[in-house]
A and B are shown apart, each in its own frame.
Chain A
């Protein structure tokens, strides 16, 4: 998530908020934010995993959530999905590019 932290200013310029979601309980989410000095929240989907299931990022064989990033526009429509990448710098870079294009009105 450090990649999103490092690009956070650019996300803000593109009128975009970043929200991290994990399956860990709230205290762990808070410690993670503190340790990595994240300027955005990590939200806990524990214990229900409702959001992880709603976004279909649950990995049933391994009982973990896949690393997936969704770009959602102001109207609540999904405008980008980044999956199948373990490198979070790619998630950050690609999602930033999408919101910059949205703000520029090119899409």
Chain B
């Protein structure tokens, strides 16, 4: 089921290229977050 405006964003914790962890929850009450899903290996831009 697709997420839509007004829904609660699913929490996540993922690692970057240096294996540093980033979690959505850490921004709560602090910042807006824009998450961009992107396939990098196969596409340009």
Contacts and interface: CB of A to CB of B under 8 A. Distances in A.
Interface of A: 1-4, 11, 14-24, 26-34, 41-45, 50-52, 54-57, 64-81, 87-88, 91, 95, 99, 102-103
B32 A68 contact: no
A32 B40 contact: yes
Contacts of B9: 70, 72, 76-78
Contact of A67 (B18, B28, B31, B39): B39
Range for the number of chain B residues in contact with chain A: 35 or more
B27 A23 contact: no
Contacts of A50: 12
A77 B9 CA distance: 6
B33 A72 contact: yes
A20 B17 contact: no
Contact of B14 (A21, A75, A81): A21
Contact of A24 (B1, B4, B36, B41): B41
Given A31-B17, A57-B37, A65-B37, A102 B32 contact: yes
A65 to B, nearest CB: 5
Given A50-B12, A76-B9, A78-B7, A30 B17 contact: yes
Interface in B21-43: 22, 24-25, 27-42
Nearest to A91: B36
